[in-house]
């Protein structure tokens, strides 16, 4: 089946919202965008579903000397997931991983403070939490987000993305209650290849999306 590209993250969000229509208007639904790129996508979904929007900072844990190679990821509160096979293969010690995680947690906390300010997080206990990113390659950060949502007491965790690698979808189906992807192409190689405009989302765009969502909710 031919998979169309997305014009930009807003277009991707509107298409994704159509796949999540069953959640529209339901009480207890909270939409959370993984920052930064997932927030513009999540904004369109939250607006379509009539649900509150929040942001979640999740940081990859980069392998020493190969920072782009993720040995895992960390979410607020110190929640983390690790690629155990990679950790064993590289002989990474628990104290080293703890130091890497502490550094990333510090940056994560700074980012959330910048984006959310004094805005309280919507209550998540017992809620249906819809976690959204602009796409999934390895899924490391989304796995951490799912673990975080469970830790926060979510009643149901939904992972929703415009595009994802098929094997990542399969893995997340084992961890989330529902996984929704507009496209999971067999030829997947990188998220950005499925967007005409995949320019970096700025801190300002994140804060504007949150402010607009809050204003529309009122």
Is there a contact between 161 and 181 (Cβ–Cβ < 8 Å)? yes
The pLDDT, as a whole number, for residue 4 is 73
pLDDT at 3: 56
Token reading at 148: 């975080």
Identify whether the C-beta of residue 158 lies closer than 8 Å to the C-beta of residue 130: yes
| β-sheet with 79-82: strand ranges across | 59-63, 66-75, 79-82
Return the SS3 of 193. Answer: helix
Q: What is the pLDDT of residue 1?
A: 39
Strands (E), the chain: 29-34, 53-56, 59-63, 66-75, 79-82, 128-132, 156-163, 178-183
Query: What pLDDT score was predicted for residue 24?
Result: 95
* pLDDT < 50 positions in the chain: 1-2, 218
- Identify the structural domains of the chain with CATH numbers, from first to last: 9-58+116-217 (3.40.50.2020), 60-114 (no CATH)
Measure the CA–CA gap between 143 and 55, rounded to whole angstroms.
16
- pLDDT at res. 138: 87
pLDDT tens readout for residues 127-137: 999 999 999 99
- Read off the pLDDT of residues 106-161 as tens digits, 9 standing for 90 and up: 999 898 888 988 788 888 999 999 999 999 998 989 999 999 999 999 999 999 99
115: which 2 tokens?
Answer: 């984006």
CB atoms within 10 A of CB 19: 15
Instruction: Tell me the torsion sign for CA atoms 14, 20, 23, 28.
Output: negative
Cα–Cα distance for residue pair 112/158, rounded to 1 Å:
22
Main-chain phi, psi angles of 141, to 5 degrees? -70, -35
């Amino acid at each position: 089946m031919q998979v169309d590209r997305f014009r930009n993250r807003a277009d991707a969000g509107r298409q994704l919202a159509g796949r999540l229509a069953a959640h529209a208007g339901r009480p207890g639904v909270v939409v959370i965008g993984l920052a930064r790129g997932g927030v513009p996508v999540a904004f369109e979904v939250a607006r379509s579903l009539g649900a509150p929007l929040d942001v979640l900072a999740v940081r990859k844990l980069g392998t020493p000397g190969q920072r782009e190679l993720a040995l895992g990821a960390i979410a607020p509160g110190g929640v983390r997931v690790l690629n155990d096979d990679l950790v064993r293969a590289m002989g990474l010690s628990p104290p080293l991983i703890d130091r890497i995680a502490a550094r990333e947690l510090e940056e994560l906390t700074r980012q959330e403070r910048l984006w959310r300010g004094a805005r309280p997080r919507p209550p998540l206990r017992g809620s249906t939490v819809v976690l959204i990113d602009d796409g999934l390659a390895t899924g490391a950060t989304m796995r951490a987000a799912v673990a975080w949502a469970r830790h926060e007491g979510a009643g149901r965790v939904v992972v929703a993305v415009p595009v994802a690698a098929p094997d990542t979808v399969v893995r997340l189906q084992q961890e989330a209650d529902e996984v929704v992807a507009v496209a999971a192409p067999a030829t997947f190689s990188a998220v950005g290849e499925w967007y005409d405009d995949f320019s970096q989302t700025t801190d300002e765009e994140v804060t504007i999306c949150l402010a607009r969502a809050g204003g529309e909710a009122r």
